[in-house]
Amino acid sequence: MMRILLVCLGNICRSPTAEAALHEALEEAGLSGRVEVDSAGTGDWHIGKPPDRRMTAAAAAAGLRLFGRARRIDRDDFQAADIILVMDRENLRDVRALAPSPEAREKVRLFREFDPDADGLEVPDPYLGGPEGFRQVVVIARAAARGLARHLQQQEQLA
């Protein structure tokens, strides 16, 4: 089973949304039983808290259900995950700095790399903004998740 970890700053907005969007995309692609998905944050401010209520509302309005409790990425995640997808370049730098080896560092990529129509490679952090930023994260997460699911389907066909 492939394991994917999605990472943002606090694990209450972007990464839980990306996790829910990826579950949805994997289900649509017929891959849900073959890929395990989890999320984490680089910071410890929100450990144990549920996803941000504003993000939860924006996701629910679009038909996504957020779940889980915030946790912080740790060294064990590098061994458990096959790929670690981060939301922005700051997360990329921070997560790669935690990697216990060059091989582990190679697992870390930007989530939006899988969105062929992306106008940038970062998922913007909506935390300090208004409702539109939360809605935008849902749209971006779904696009990247669908692209990732297509990528995984293609890899599976080649295997």
pLDDT per residue as tens digits for the range 7-57 = 999 999 999 999 999 999 999 999 999 999 999 999 999 999 999 999 999
User: How far is CA 67 from its chain centroid?
Assistant: 13
Q: Is the pTM of this model over 0.95?
A: yes
Decide if pLDDT at 147 tops 70: yes
Is residue 150 pLDDT above 90, yes or no? yes
Q: Where are the domains of the chain?
A: 2-158
Put residue 124 in one of left, alpha, beta given phi > 0 → left and psi -120 to 50 → alpha.
beta
Topology of domain 2-158, per CATH? Rossmann fold (3.40.50)
Give the list of residues 6+ apart from residue 105 with CB closer than 8 angstroms, or none. 96, 99
Distances (CA, A) of 44 to 9, 100, 114, 147: 9, 20, 27, 30
Ramachandran assignment for 105, one of left (phi > 0), alpha (psi -120 to 50 degrees), beta (any other): alpha
Predicted confidence (pLDDT) per residue in 79-92, tens digit: 999 999 999 999 99
Known catalytic residues are 8, 14, 125
Condensed to tens digits (0 to 9), the pLDDT of residues 54-79 reads 999 999 999 999 999 999 999 999 99
- In this prediction, residue 157 has a pLDDT band, given cuts at 50, 70 and 90, of confident
Q: pLDDT tier at 156 (50, 70, 90 boundaries)?
A: confident
